[in-house]
Structure 1
Amino acid sequence: MDTALEAALRVRIMEWVRGRADANGGFLHREELLRFRVDGRDLPIIDFSRGIRNPAGFSSTLAIVASANGPYDDTESHDDGLLHYAYRDGDPFGGDNRKLRAAIDTGQPLILFRKEIPNYYTPVMPVYVVDDYPEERTFLIALDEAFRFMGSTRDLSTPQRQYALRLAKQRLHQPAFRTRVILAYETTCAVCTLRHGSLLDAAHIVPDSEHGGVPTTPNGLALCKIHHAAFDQQMLGITPDHRVVIDQDLLNEVDGPMLRHGLQDMHGRQLTLPRRAKDRPDRDLLAWRWEKFEGRTAP
Structure 2
Amino acid sequence: MAEPEGLRHAAIAWLEKRTFDRQISLTRDQIGDFEWDGKPFRLIPSQQGIWKPRGFEATLSIVTTFRAPGQKRPYDDEVGADGLIRYKWRGDNPLHHENAGLRRAMVLRLPIIWFIGVGGAPPEYQVVAPVYLADEEPEKQQFILAPLAEEDFAVESLEDGIAVPALKRYLMRETRVRLHQPVFRSTVLRAYENHCAVCNLAHPELLDAAHIVDDSHELGTPTIGNGMALCKIHHAAFDRRFLGIRPDYTVEIRQDLLDEVDGPMLRHGLQDLHGKPLMMLPKAKRDRPDNDKLAWAYERFRTATVADVA
> Runs (4+) of structure 1 moved beyond 6 Å?
none
Aligned to 2:139: 135
Cα 1:172–1:57 change in 2 (3 A) is same
Listed as ranges, the matches of 1:139-150 within 5 Å are 139-144=143-148, 145-150=152-157
Aligned to 1:251: 258
- Pick from 90, 98, 101 the counterpart of residue 99 of structure 1: 101
CA deviations over 1:10-65 (Å, ceiling 9, x no partner): 23322322233338943112221234334421112201111122234544322111
Aligned to 1:50: 48
What is the DSSP-based 3-state SS (H/G/I as helix, E as strand, rest coil) of the residue aligned with 2:230? strand
Q: Is the 8 A contact 1:104 1:130 kept in 2?
A: yes
Cα 1:238–1:108 change in 2 (3 A) is same
What is the DSSP-based 3-state SS (H/G/I as helix, E as strand, rest coil) of the residue aligned with 1:288? helix
Q: Is the 8 A contact 2:244 2:298 kept in 1?
A: yes
Listed as ranges, the matches of 1:56-75 within 5 Å are 56=54, 58-67=56-65, 71=69, 75=77
Aligned to 2:282: 274
- Pick from 200, 208, 231 the counterpart of residue 207 of structure 2: 200
Aligned to 1:16: 14
Q: Which moved more, 1:30-39 or 1:230-239?
A: 30-39
Aligned counterparts of 2:173 and 2:105: Cα–Cα separation in 1: 24
Instruction: Measure how far apart 1:281 and its partner are.
Output: 1.0
Cα 1:147–1:236 change in 2 (3 A) is same
Aligned to 1:123: 127
Q: Is the 8 A contact 2:77 2:88 kept in 1?
A: no
Q: Is the 8 A contact 2:23 2:182 kept in 1?
A: no
What is the DSSP-based 3-state SS (H/G/I as helix, E as strand, rest coil) of the residue aligned with 1:128? strand
Q: Is the 8 A contact 1:34 1:44 kept in 2?
A: yes
Instruction: Measure how far apart 1:89 and its partner are.
Output: 4.4
- Pick from 294, 299, 302 the counterpart of residue 286 of structure 1: 294
What is the DSSP-based 3-state SS (H/G/I as helix, E as strand, rest coil) of the residue aligned with 2:87? strand
Cα 1:148–1:33 change in 2 (3 A) is same
Q: Is the 8 A contact 1:29 1:120 kept in 2?
A: yes
Cα 1:24–1:126 change in 2 (3 A) is closer
Q: Is the 8 A contact 2:134 2:161 kept in 1?
A: no
Cα 1:70–1:82 change in 2 (3 A) is farther
Aligned counterparts of 2:66 and 2:98: Cα–Cα separation in 1: 21
Bigger RCO of structures 1 and 2 (CA < 8 A, at least 6 apart) = 1
Aligned to 2:198: 191
Amino acid at match of 1:137: Q
Q: Give the paired residue count.
A: 297
- Pick from 77, 95, 110 the counterpart of residue 112 of structure 2: 110
What is the DSSP-based 3-state SS (H/G/I as helix, E as strand, rest coil) of the residue aligned with 2:128? strand
CA deviations over 1:64-93 (Å, ceiling 9, x no partner): 112355859995222222222222348633
Aligned to 1:31: 29
Instruction: Measure how far apart 1:139 and its partner are.
Output: 1.9
Cα 1:250–1:298 change in 2 (3 A) is closer
Aligned counterparts of 1:292 and 1:130: Cα–Cα separation in 2: 42
- Pick from 83, 86, 93 the counterpart of residue 84 of structure 1: 86
What is the DSSP-based 3-state SS (H/G/I as helix, E as strand, rest coil) of the residue aligned with 2:125? strand
Aligned counterparts of 1:30 and 1:2: Cα–Cα separation in 2: 24
Cα 1:274–1:94 change in 2 (3 A) is closer
What is the DSSP-based 3-state SS (H/G/I as helix, E as strand, rest coil) of the residue aligned with 2:228? strand
Aligned counterparts of 2:8 and 2:234: Cα–Cα separation in 1: 36
What is the DSSP-based 3-state SS (H/G/I as helix, E as strand, rest coil) of the residue aligned with 1:111? strand
Cα 1:173–1:71 change in 2 (3 A) is farther
Gaps of 5+ in 1: none
